[in-house]
A = this chain, B = another copy of it.
Amino acid sequence: MNGRTSARVGMVGAGQLARMTQRAAIDLGVALTVLAERDDDPAVAAGAAVEHGAADDPDALARLADRVDVVTFDHELVDGPALARLAARGVAVRPSPSALAHAQDKLLAREAFARLGLPGPAHAVATDEAGVAALAAAHGWPLVAKARRGGYDGRGVVVVADADELAAVLARGGEWIVEQRVPLAVELAVVLARRPGGAMAVHPVVETVQRDGICHELVMPARVPAATAARAVAVATELATGIDAVGVCAVELFVTPTGDVLVNEIALRPHNSGHATIEGAVTSQFHNHLRAVLDWPLGDPSMRALVAATVNVLGADDGDVAARVPTALAVPGAHVHLYGKTSRPGRKLGHVTVLGDDADAALTAARRAARALTRPA
């Protein structure tokens, strides 16, 4: 069209991450098309253009690719070989299928982290009896069994007390790895954006509070010693560079009581642990994800306030969350984000961020607002 071309980004998946990417796309004049299965998916409800289809359908991926300049992701449950074929015929797939594989395959990820010299939990392939025995001898039971592929939000993770429990898990089928159970002082995440040429914008380290494998709360910056934060950033940037990540990636890390920093996993897309960047950072992870996959200059990832606290809104009932918004907005400083989802117990429906000078005060306010959204008034 004369005088008007928008950069066209295609995103596989249409959940809340794509929804919040649509918000950034509006700012930047980017045309976002999502690959969606349902018209009430969060990003479709937010007005992103839609290609209908499933992320594991090679034809749907190809149709999406035909409409856009670059293909990126709101989740990693995508058909790897189909992506590789797209990339092979010249489609800009960012992150690349080989980088994305580190978020799809826990065994491949652990092996890559080790090859890069990055510290991670000791692990073994679950069917390798000698390896598991050595792991148990070194670290003791219980160990943690993790599905090699497809787990998220705590699904596909099982603490196993002994070899019999491990055998029961393996009997479910699928491939598993087994890891030492890391003693935890705190969990951290480093959210960064990386351009194809390697330039990076790294947000301050985030402290995450997980329950049952689901992220409940974030505090940015993390309340850890500066050396620990610096170590986390060093590990995350080495990892992102080492696997040639492009776009936003979120590196989740364990910190042990003795201060060791271990890589848990990496997501190659905007991530729940980066939600505090919407209000808390000069440039949000969603803006920088678009900028990175389009190979545009990245925005300043530093903070706009001393502290940002984010509390996820997890459904507690099947009540009308939207009707509770005014009560949540009555909490001073509460930035409410809803994902346009029907409430069900445990479902991520939204999040609330509060900025401030004090982490405890910001967390308290964000919890109050999040609670208002999940309970009848």
The stretch that binds B, out of A120-128, A163-171, A214-222, A324-332, is: A324-332
Is the Cβ of B26 less than 8 Å from the Cβ of A321?
Answer: no
Known interface pairs A2-B318, A47-B22, A342-B3; A29-B297 also in contact (CB < 8 Å): no
User: Which residues between 28 and 65 of chain A lie within 8 Å of chain B, taking CB atoms?
Assistant: 28-29, 31, 45-49
Is the Cβ of A342 less than 8 Å from the Cβ of B4?
Answer: yes
Q: Measured between C-beta atoms, what is the minimum distance from A220 to chain B in Å?
A: 15
Please report whether the interface of chain A is mostly helix, strand, loop or mixed according to DSSP. loop
Is the Cβ of A322 less than 8 Å from the Cβ of B19?
Answer: no
User: Which residues between 1 and 23 of chain A lie within 8 Å of chain B, taking CB atoms?
Assistant: 1-7, 19-20, 22-23
Is the Cβ of A329 less than 8 Å from the Cβ of B3?
Answer: no
Say which size band chain A's interface belongs to.
35 or more
Is the Cβ of B47 less than 8 Å from the Cβ of A332?
Answer: no
Q: Which residues of B contact A319 (CB under 8 A)?
A: 3
Q: Which residues of B contact A341 (CB under 8 A)?
A: 4
Q: Name 22 A/B residue pairs within 8 A (Cβ), A-sorted.
A: A1-B342, A3-B320, A3-B321, A3-B342, A3-B343, A4-B321, A4-B341, A4-B342, A5-B322, A5-B323, A6-B322, A7-B322, A23-B23, A23-B26, A26-B46, A27-B337, A27-B338, A31-B45, A47-B47, A47-B48, A291-B329, A294-B326
20 other A-B residue contacts (CB within 8 Å) besides A4-B322, A27-B336: A2-B318, A2-B342, A3-B318, A3-B319, A3-B321, A3-B342, A3-B344, A4-B320, A4-B321, A4-B343, A5-B322, A19-B26, A22-B26, A26-B47, A27-B337, A29-B322, A29-B338, A299-B329, A300-B333, A304-B355
